[in-house]
Structure 1
Amino acid sequence: MSSSLARFEKHINVTESGKLAVDILASETALSKQQLKKVMLKGAVWVTTGKKTQRLRRAKRQLDIGQTLHIYYDEHVLDCEPAEPELIADMGQYSIWNKPYGMLSQGSKWGDHCTITRWAEQHLTPQRNAFVVHRLDRAANGLIIVAHEKKAAALLSGLFQSRQIEKRYQIWVEGEFSEQATVDNPVKVDLDLDGRHAVSFFTRLKFDASKQQSLLDVRIETGRKHQIRQHAASLGHPVVGDRLYGNILQQENLQLKAYFMAFRCPYTAEEKQFNLLIN
């Protein structure tokens, strides 16, 4: 394939009813039907009907006049292979996963095949839809909830918003963190991020003198984008492997793990607790 096709997007107005999506795309792009089927399965093709736009995965879907096909082709994105997550618990209406480094919480218009939600849709038995409840950075790893009903997504999102889900993290940071940061006296960072209130608490667990790195336990009161990473960096102890807020030459993966989660199940009212350091 020519380099000119490495990345492009195309928007096609459907002018003839009954034609198959893959045939329309093949006539409007330089991609073969086999390539297009793979692109569609990876979530890079969309269809607009009226005011609604959604992913289109079925190559033999017949389209109608007035609809619009969208293809967002990016070789780099589509060639990525998703890392395999670990299923921790399947609760039916939702599931708990151990998301690995490199896997996304949600997709983009360019595809969703490397997301935890798409993985869940393709690998759970029985097969179910999957909805985003909360996010975990691509570079981070650990516990994440995936909803399988819109109602479950709303209920669980409500628990996050009302801070009824306890989450804890462990991070390795650069340098020797204060020994005064104990369980009873953690270092508190109250620093707004993007104009929104954000609070984090850091407790030192141990110091590795050979690497000049400290292991910290982290609890957050809010859930802002890159909150732990930015707050740790503000203390002068960026997370190991953080090339955005720390050392840009760092070769290690981001050392940030969401290891603990506890909440009351919105369906059974049972207390649920998950700990990757024990399980």
Structure 2
Amino acid sequence: MYKFIAFALIIIATTSQAQVHWHNVDSAFAPLPPSVHVYYTNDSIDGKPNIAYYVSAELKDKSLDFAAQIGYGKRFTPSQYYLNEGKPLLVVNCTFFEFVNNSNLNLVMNDGKLLAYNNAAIAGHGKDTFTYRHAFASAIGITKKRKADVAWLYTDSTKPLPYASQIPLNPIKDSSATFVYQTVGLAKWHMQTAVGGGPVLLQRGRIAISNNEELKFAGKAGLTDKHPRTCMGYTKDGELIVMCVQGRFPNIAEGVNLTQEAQLLKDLGCTEALNLDGGGSSCLLVNGKPTIQVSDKEGQRPVPAVFMIKVK
């Protein structure tokens, strides 16, 4: 991890303390490399029905290739990415996006190159109609040396690399949609592969949700509403964790809120973790096989970017 500035964590209290029991289901998704495992739970969370899967992968396993791909102005289902990208071991949705131009609203990096950028400005409403808020969105990245990091980023299409803060930064209000950040205190983020989302859920192994800084969800609803969720994190032992939680199925799998999602990752030993696009976008494939049942009645939602694990 890259840590440049000391800071005091703001810890989010959680009412979801009971650990769920995870069951190894490797045989249902075989063949798998020895360094990759798949787990399933249907234990209730706070008395509500729950279904979730996660994949653990050893970052140091050089037979694994961690990659990302975008749709270049188009959206594809995870199953279409699976076929188009040579049948990767894992395919999962990642970034938030807009439907008009099928544009990613978060950073995507592959082979050390920026493929998509953070949304630069959020237009104000009401008395703030003529102002913009510029927030540092979060992402998870993996270096060439196979070290993972979660950071808050500034991206610029004129710069080859993003700039990162290792602490959450408050958004900046400005009258310009093209406000230029001063990069003092930020450092170039040298990642081989990275995908963005937000907000961050865990910092230094503790639940600390940076929703107020990232402006992902309005009010308290973002913390308390239950939805399907996709998230990623990593442990101090070098395990990458990719998780999907099923939701919007009353009495079967209702989904989780951000605090419950963070607790699931904390219980697995994640040091840092962040939320990714969820809802109808949440979809995790292992060897092309679905894990959770997606919530959209039409089936898998086409998305403009995915994170992948490939076997070399």
TM-score band by shorter chain is under 0.3
TM-score between both structures, scaled by the size of structure 2? 0.25
TM-score between both structures, scaled by the size of structure 1? 0.27
